[in-house]
């Protein structure tokens, strides 16, 4: 099973709301990633978790807060977002070795009003 | 820092024909990995093919093959017998051997397939 699942598929939130995105994989992968993608642009890396520890934070604003409760689950907590944060948020996972490819989830389409 | 360049924002191919998408990259490293990802409209990004830099042999996956020229830092993707389902955004990506799994993407090439 090479599936990464993400919920919800779509999310509309106001600038004062708090919401969370969820990502799950059951492939035994030990690295998980959050990306932000604007239309017709490549994904931009936000965070990397390796063995449930945050290993890379690409200078993401603090209104985005990642969490990795266990090796299969990755959350992204959202608070006080701006309209320019509207985008497709992709989760990915990969095996331990550097050569292992990343498997992407279908994404959550976020709209901030 | 590494960079990846895809110089063709859009490409078009006739069904059943062959098309080649270009990708060049810049790095000072000798060990790395290169990938082509496909993202159909409103659909999931999937891996098409990967290449380890230490391998001289070009990777092949069914109708997809690469032309990897390490000295020229070029990594093009050839799609043979193009099908309507090949229409998508294609991203070339670079992954360093030792940088925590970070993928560096090119800007993408949007491929359309004409029936």
**Euclidean distance between CA atoms A16 and A18, whole angstroms:** 7
**Euclidean distance between CA atoms B93 and A33, whole angstroms:** 15
- Identify the residue whose tokens are 């970070």: B102
Assign A95 a pLDDT band (cuts: 50, 70, 90): confident
pLDDT at A63 over 60: yes
Mean pLDDT for A8-26 is 94
Interface test with chain B among A5, A31, A98, A105, by most B beta carbons within 10 Å: A98
Give the other-Cβ count within 10 Å of B21's Cβ: 23
Assign B53 a pLDDT band (cuts: 50, 70, 90): very high
State the alpha helices, DSSP H only, in chain A. none
Exposed e or buried b for every residue in B32-42, given b needs 16+ CB within 10 A?
A: bbbbbbbbeee
Beta carbons of A99 and B108 less than 8 Å apart: no
Interface test with chain B among A3, A29, A37, A42, by most B beta carbons within 10 Å: A42
Mean pLDDT for B14-33 is 95
pLDDT at B97 over 90: no
Specify the pLDDT at position B66: 97
Through-space distance between the first and last CA atoms of chain A, rounded to whole angstroms: 36
pLDDT at A99 over 70: no
Beta carbons of B110 and A40 less than 8 Å apart: yes
């Amino acid at each position: 099973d090479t599936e990464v699942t993400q919920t919800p598929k779509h999310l509309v939130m106001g600038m004062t709301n708090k919401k969370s995105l969820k990502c799950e994989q059951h492939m035994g992968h030990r690295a998980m990633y959050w990306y932000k993608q604007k239309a017709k642009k490549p994904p931009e890396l936000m965070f990397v978790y390796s063995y449930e520890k945050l290993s890379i934070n690409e200078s993401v604003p603090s209104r985005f807060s990642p969490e990795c409760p266990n090796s299969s689950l990755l959350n992204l907590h959202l608070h006080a977002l701006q309209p320019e944060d509207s985008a497709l948020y992709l989760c990915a996972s990969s095996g331990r070795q550097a050569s292992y490819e990343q498997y992407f989830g279908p994404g959550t389409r976020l709209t901030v009003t | 820092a590494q960079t990846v360049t895809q110089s063709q924002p859009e490409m078009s191919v006739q069904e059943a024909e062959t098309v080649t998408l270009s990708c060049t990259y810049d790095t000072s490293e000798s060990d790395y990995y290169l990938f082509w990802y496909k993202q159909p409209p409103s659909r999931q990004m999937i891996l098409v093919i990967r290449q380890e830099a230490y391998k001289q042999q070009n990777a092949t996956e069914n109708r997809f093959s690469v032309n990897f020229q390490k000295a020229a830092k070029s990594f093009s993707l050839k799609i043979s017998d193009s099908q309507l389902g090949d229409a998508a955004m294609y991203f070339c990506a670079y992954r360093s051997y030792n940088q925590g799994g970070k993928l560096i993407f090119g800007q993408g090439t949007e491929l359309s397939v004409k029936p």
